[in-house]
Amino acid sequence: MNCPVTFLTAAAGFAADRLIKTVASRKEGRRTFFKDKVTFRKTTNKGFALNKCEGKRGLVVAVSIAAFLAVVFLFGITLRDEEYRNKRPAAALLLGGSLGNLYERIRYGSVIDYISVAPFKKIFFNLADVLIAIGALLYMF
């Protein structure tokens, strides 16, 4: 993946996350699919995963900024050093996802989550979370 495609992938991930969150923020109620195995319902998360540190906005934003800067650093390494060229797709997913969640935490004080899957029906997440998880897994391999 060349540098412009890497940037475009990160931007596309961020844009898709923002679009879906915008749509999710306008929807009310709960919808289920695949015999109640997938649930769509807007929730907000004012903390980290599973609402950890929910009442500590300053801490959540500070840690999110630090994590984002670490991702930017990794992203820079993959662009600068040809040895890490194969890590560019992972870095792009990490950057797009982390920027999507950081943007919401700073602007709104919370992150919109909207999807849950069985057997973890009480855990809701969003596209940015998926991008971060896939990017982290790809980066490790």
Please say if 81 is a catalytic residue.
no
Q: Residue 29: what pLDDT? A: 86
Given the structure tokens 């679009």, which residue do they identify? 19
Q: Residue 58: what pLDDT? A: 87
Sign of CA dihedral 73, 79, 80, 81: positive
Query: What is the Cα–Cα distance from 32 to 13, expressed in whole angstroms?
Result: 25
Each as own residue / partner, the long-range contacts of residues 47-56 (CB below 8 Å, 24 or more positions apart, any chain) are 49/129, 50/123
Distances (CA, A) of 58 to 28, 72, 100: 29, 21, 18
Q: Residue 111: what pLDDT? A: 94
The domain segmentation of the chain, as residue ranges, is: 43-140
Query: What is the Cα–Cα distance from 31 to 121, expressed in whole angstroms?
Result: 13
Please say if 129 is a catalytic residue.
yes
Q: Residue 135: what pLDDT? A: 96
- Which of 17, 36, 81, 129 is catalytic? The answer is 129
Q: Residue 87: what pLDDT? A: 93
pLDDT, tens digit, for every residue of 82-122? 888 899 999 999 999 999 999 999 999 999 999 999 988 88
Which residues of the chain have a pLDDT value below 50? none
Read off φ and ψ for residue 83, nearest 5 degrees. Answer: -60, -30
Residue in 75, 103, 110, 92 with CA at minimum distance from that of residue 19: 103
- Which of 17, 36, 81, 113 is catalytic? The answer is 113
Helices (H) and strands (E) in the chain, counts: 4, 3
